């Protein structure tokens, strides 16, 4: 049995113990989110998301906005209307009254992209103290694509079968070779067994340099709802990198259970909306007046014109 399998079994036992132990509380709770607490939701090949703790729900946002007491101050319909008003007009402070803490296992290269969101509290697994697992992210063939010709940070066409197979072989071989060297430098394996009794191992804080970015790390990530929404609006976007987008999508499913009124407002005013620049708005007004507006006379750059066309459903 592999060390990673032992670790996963230990996590499962920990989850069962946590879910079996309940505490009475007077604080606001979300029944749907309570059912999700500590459960692992798989992402990619070895990653996961699970909720460790949270504070507040939709009524907490309403209470903060009205500086009031009790579970909601008016009808649910009025509470929903207020949440939608706050979301529509970008009043962020009431949403900051809710917080959530995730335990996330993710590839290192995704973590380095994720950490750019500097509005959360993060505590990452220490590779100075412990060994990382022998687990690597290997993309499915349908996610292996060439560099985009029009987007310097995006993907183009999916690789053909032969090309994809060659790339996968290289990724797997490099990951295994790097981890083998990691163990050799440390002179130990995950179970604590020394490889060579006559050899002194390199310090873990140095040996980790040889690990590939496809190796998995873990962290606790605690964030308030306003900043979580901002993270989700960027990382669920179709242009976001697939490997971080799938994490965001799983997290938003959790948000829907936690704060359903806020999640619906977020979808309507962030996910499924489009901001118009001044020149874009001027072009739309001309269209409404019946003028013929095209790329040449719109006053917009080529990219802005294409974005407006796509938002209005006028793309060819």
**Any domain includes 316:** no
pLDDT value for 1: 44
pLDDT value for 150: 60
How would DSSP label each residue in 289-303?
Answer: TT----TTTS---HH
- Pair 239, 97 in one domain: yes
- Pair 37, 65 in one domain: yes
The CATH number given to whatever domain includes residue 38 is 3.30.1360.170
Q: In which residue are the tokens 């796509």 written?
A: 310
More confident residue, 243 or 193: 243
Q: What is the mean pLDDT of residues 84-104?
A: 96
**Any domain includes 38:** yes
Element (H, E) at 100: strand 99-107
The answer to whether residues 84 and 268 touch, using CB atoms and an 8 Å cutoff, is yes
Q: Does 251 score more than 60 pLDDT?
A: yes
Distance CA 206, CA 137 (A): 22
Mind listing the pLDDT tens digit for each residue in 85-94? 999 999 999 9
Q: Which positions are catalytic?
A: 235
- Pair 190, 221 in one domain: no
Q: Does 16 score more than 80 pLDDT?
A: no
Counted domains in the chain: 3
**Any domain includes 112:** yes
Q: Does 15 score more than 90 pLDDT?
A: no
Tokens representing 269 are 């005013």
Its domain, for residue 159, covers 138-213
The answer to whether residues 96 and 225 touch, using CB atoms and an 8 Å cutoff, is yes
């Amino acid at each position: 049995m592999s060390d990673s399998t032992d670790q996963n079994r230990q996590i499962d036992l920990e989850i069962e113990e946590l879910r079996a132990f309940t505490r009475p509380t007077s604080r606001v709770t979300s029944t749907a989110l309570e059912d999700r607490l500590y459960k692992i939701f798989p992402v990619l090949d070895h990653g996961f998301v699970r909720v460790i703790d949270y504070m507040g729900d939709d009524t907490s946002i309403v209470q903060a906005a009205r500086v009031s007491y009790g579970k909601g101050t008016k009808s649910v319909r009025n509470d929903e209307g207020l949440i939608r008003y706050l979301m529509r007009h970008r009043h962020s402070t009431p949403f900051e009254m809710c917080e959530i803490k995730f335990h996330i296992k993710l590839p290192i290269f995704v973590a380095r992209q994720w950490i750019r969101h500097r509005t959360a509290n993060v505590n990452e697994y220490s590779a100075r103290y412990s060994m990382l697992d022998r687990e690597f992210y290997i993309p499915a063939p349908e996610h292996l694509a060439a560099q985009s010709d029009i987007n310097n940070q995006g993907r183009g066409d999916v690789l053909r079968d032969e090309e994809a197979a060659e790339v996968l072989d290289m990724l797997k071989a490099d990951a295994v070779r790097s981890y083998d060297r990691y163990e050799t430098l440390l002179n130990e394996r995950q179970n604590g067994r020394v490889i060579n009794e006559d050899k002194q191992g390199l310090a873990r804080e140095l040996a980790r340099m040889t690990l590939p970015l496809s190796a998995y790390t873990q962290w606790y990530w605690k964030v308030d709802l306003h900043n979580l929404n901002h993270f989700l609006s960027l990382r669920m976007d179709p242009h976001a990198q697939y490997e971080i987008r799938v994490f965001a999508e799983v997290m938003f499913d959790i948000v829907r259970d936690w704060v359903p009124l806020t999640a619906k407002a977020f979808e309507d005013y962030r996910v499924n909306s489009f901001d118009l620049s001044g020149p874009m708005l001027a072009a739309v007004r001309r269209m409404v007046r019946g003028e013929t507006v095209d790329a040449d006379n719109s006053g917009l750059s080529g990219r802005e014109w294409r974005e407006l066309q796509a938002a209005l459903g006028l793309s060819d």
